[in-house]
Amino acid sequence: MSLHLYNTLTNKKELFKPIQEDYVRIYSCGQTIYDDVHVGNARTYSAWDILNRYLKWKGYDVFHIMNITDVGHLTDDADQGEDKVEKAAKKEKLEPMELVTRQILLFYKEIEKLNIDFADIYPRATGHMVEMIEAVKKILKHGYAYEKNGTIYFNVMKFEKDYGYPVLGGRKLEDLLAGEGGRVSEDELKEKNSHYDFALWIKADKGHMMKWPSPWGEGYPGWHLECSVMSTKYLGKVFDIHTGGIDHIFPHHPNERAQNITMNKTDEEPIKYWLHSDFITVNGEKMSKSKGNFYTIRELLEEYEPEAIRTLFASTHYRSQSDFSISSLEEAEKKLERLRNTIRKAKESKGGDKDNLLRAIENVKNEFEDAMDDDLNTPLALSKLIQFTGKINNNLDSKPNILDEAVITLEELAGILGIDLSEKREKSQDAAPYIDFILEIREKLRKEKLYSIADEIRDELQKKGLAIEDTEEGARWYIKGKT
């Protein structure tokens, strides 16, 4: 099979064919940078990391852009409310760009800890004001925008008539109009011609901090504009893949597509594949910064390993919703442990003269690839790796070079899912002798059947951030979250 991806634009799985052979250009909607990365954001970024890694594994060069929204994303997606960055900065009594700088540095750190490969460029909206103003001028000149009181709106009805405005995901604009038309307020219609018109450039009210001079007075860009401008600037007028969470299926992505088409005047479909990842929920509700029902990656990494978080993400298909709980993370830890234990046993085994594993190695590669070719079916791919651990465990008497190959295969394929199985965690040199000593005493207590004291010691050490594994040769430990 060859790689098939589910394209939200056409609502079906399609064979993936890049515009240029061997070279794939990807744009991902990234963080609105006013708070910490939460598990939902990270799951979405992990999905695109797996896409990147898999494409590279298949031999493509990948050029990946992920934007950082540091202005223009309002508290209400329909151009209403306060700027999210400005609001958060005021609350913390910081300059908006001071908050942005702090959060960007944290974002990079957490992305790295999670073993998510960095994008090639992280362009910021505030760094592209000139290009955004030029884009608004072009859309106005091409007849798809109008001005009302210093704000420039995109004319969705005209665009729909000329090009069609597929609401990605199979809904049509008229369905939305029929369903939600009643909600349009008189005040709103005084401002714009239709409920679905959206702002390209917004006039700054008195007191608004983040604003720039423009031909239409002082203002700031509408949220959707930055992605059209930055994707065109770095990837060209026509490119391969655009990704984002399902919250972008409407209105962000259809609006972005409409802007790309009208500013660049391309007859060709500008973006070939639109991929959307489903939400992480908490008790069935979307995990979101604005609802406050989130676990940040920073707090999870204090207690859990990045590899466990990546194993959890890979355990659900990117297009399925997944409810986050600590118990689901602990389940993922068990899978990770199984992968690691197998590698350890294979490395420790002296081997024998059997070569049965060779077939299993061949099979797991094919099965993994088949699963991933089917719209990146990571849960199936991961289950194939878990099955493969059973094969390795049953064949520890294989020839040493075959055991080596099995380990390399397992590490390589898990690596595509973002799960790093290499032994790079180091014990803290300062604490190591003391921890070893405490664990030796615990071992003695266990031998004396003084289990409750031994368990208390283990629990206390775990609370302090150690992971402890009891093995036949005694306890092993490492510091959670340290890579």
> What does the binding site for Zn ion look like in residue numbers (CB under 5 A)?
29, 227
Task: Based on the shown chain and the rule CB under 6 A, indicate whether residue 8 belongs to the binding site for ligand AMP.
Answer: no
Pairing of strands 145-148, 285-286: unpaired
CB of 290 to ligand AMP, least distance (A): 8
Q: Shortest approach of ligand AMP to residue 32 CB, angstroms?
A: 4
Stretch that binds ligand AMP, among 41-49, 197-205, 298-306, 467-475 (CB under 6 A): 41-49
Least Å distance, CB 159 to ligand AMP, is 24
Does 32 bind ligand AMP (CB under 6 A)? Our answer is yes
Q: Is 290 helix (H, G, I), strand (E, B) or coil?
A: coil
Question: What is the rounded distance in angstroms from the CA atom of residue 184 to the CA atom of residue 244?
Answer: 27
Binding segment for ligand AMP (CB under 6 A), chosen from 37-45, 95-103, 210-218, 222-230, is 37-45
Q: Give residue 370's Cα distance to chain centre.
A: 23
Residues 132-171 that bind ligand AMP (CB under 6 A): none
Compute CA distances 354 → 397, 403, 407, 410, whole Å: 6, 10, 16, 19
Nearer to ligand AMP, 244 or 481 (CB): 244
Least distance from C-beta 260 to Zn ion, angstroms? 11
Residue 44 touches which of ligand AMP, Zn ion, none (Cβ within 5-8 Å per kind): ligand AMP
Residue 25 C-beta: closest distance to ligand AMP, Å = 18
User: Looking at 5-13, 222-230, 283-291, 364-372, which segment touches ligand AMP (CB under 6 A)?
Assistant: 283-291
In angstroms, what CA-CA distances link 291 with 70, 80, 102, 295? 20, 17, 22, 12
- Contact with ligand AMP (CB under 6 A) among 7, 8, 44, 46: 44
Query: In terms of Cα–Cα distance, which of 189, 183, 221 is closest to 202?
Result: 221
Q: Where are the beta strands (DSSP E) in 257-317?
A: 271-277, 280-282, 285-286
Binder of ligand AMP out of 158, 192, 248, 391 (CB under 6 A): 248
> CB of residue 433 vs Zn ion: minimum separation in angstroms?
51
Q: What is the DSSP letter of 118?
A: P
* Chain-centroid distance, C-alpha 99: 22
Helix (H, G, I), strand (E, B) or coil at 46: helix
In the complex, what is the shortest distance from the CB of residue 319 to ligand AMP, in angstroms, rounded to a whole number? Answer: 11
Going by C-beta distance under 8 Å and a sequence separation of 6 or more, which residues neighbour residue 413?
Answer: 364, 365, 368, 381, 385
Q: Which of 8, 31, 311, 409 binds ligand AMP (CB under 6 A)?
A: 31
> CB-hemisphere CA count at 13 Å for 380?
13
Q: Is 280 left (phi over 0), alpha (psi -120 to 50) or beta?
A: beta
DSSP 3-state of 251:
coil
Segment near ligand AMP (CB under 6 A); pick from 60-68, 285-293, 297-305, 441-449: 285-293
End-to-end Cα, the chain, rounded Å? 36
Are the CB atoms for 39 and 300 separated by under 8 Å? Answer: yes
- For ligand AMP, the closer of residues 141 and 291 by Cβ is 291
Single-letter amino acid code for the residue at 136: V
From the list ligand AMP, Zn ion, none, partner contacted by residue 322 (C-beta under 5 to 8 A by kind): none
* Cβ-based nearer residue to ligand AMP, 241 or 406: 241
Nearest CA-CA partner of 61 in 35, 108, 90, 22: 22
* CA 332 – CA 232 distance, rounded (Å): 39
Residue 287 binding partner per list ligand AMP, Zn ion, none, with a CB distance cut-off of 5 to 8 Å that depends on partner kind: ligand AMP
Does residue 254 bind ligand AMP (CB under 6 A)?
no
Applying CB under 6 A, does 43 fall inside the site for ligand AMP? yes
State the binding partner of 316 from ligand AMP, Zn ion, none, CB within 5 to 8 A by kind.
Answer: none
- 282-286, long-range: CB within 8 Å, 24+ apart, which pairs? 282/323, 282/324, 282/325, 283/323, 284/323, 286/40, 286/247
Which of 173, 227, 280, 385 contacts ligand AMP by CB under 6 A?
280
Stretch that binds ligand AMP, among 241-249, 263-271, 382-390, 426-434 (CB under 6 A): 241-249
Which one of 263-271, 274-282, 388-396, 468-476 is the stretch in contact with ligand AMP (CB under 6 A)? 274-282
DSSP helix/strand/coil, 233: helix
- Partner from Zn ion, ligand AMP, none binding residue 227, C-beta < 5-8 Å depending on class: Zn ion
Classify 114 in phi/psi space as left (phi over 0), alpha (psi -120 to 50) or beta. alpha
Please select the residue that binds ligand AMP; options are 29, 202, 235, 360, rule is CB under 6 A: 29
Q: Which does 446 bind (CB under 5 to 8 A by kind): ligand AMP, Zn ion, none?
A: none
User: What b-and-e string marks burial along 380-415, b requiring 16 or more CB atoms within 10 Å of the CB?
Assistant: ebbebbeebbebbeebbebbeebbeebbebbbebbe
402 binds ligand AMP (CB under 6 A): no
Binding mask 295-324 for ligand AMP (x = CB under 6 A): ------------------------------
Among 70, 86, 197, 247, binds ligand AMP (CB under 6 A): 247
Of 227 and 339, CB closest to Zn ion: 227
Closest CA to 251 of 179, 169, 150: 169
Contacts to ligand AMP by CB under 6 A:
29, 31-32, 40-41, 43-44, 244-245, 247-248, 277, 279-280, 286-288
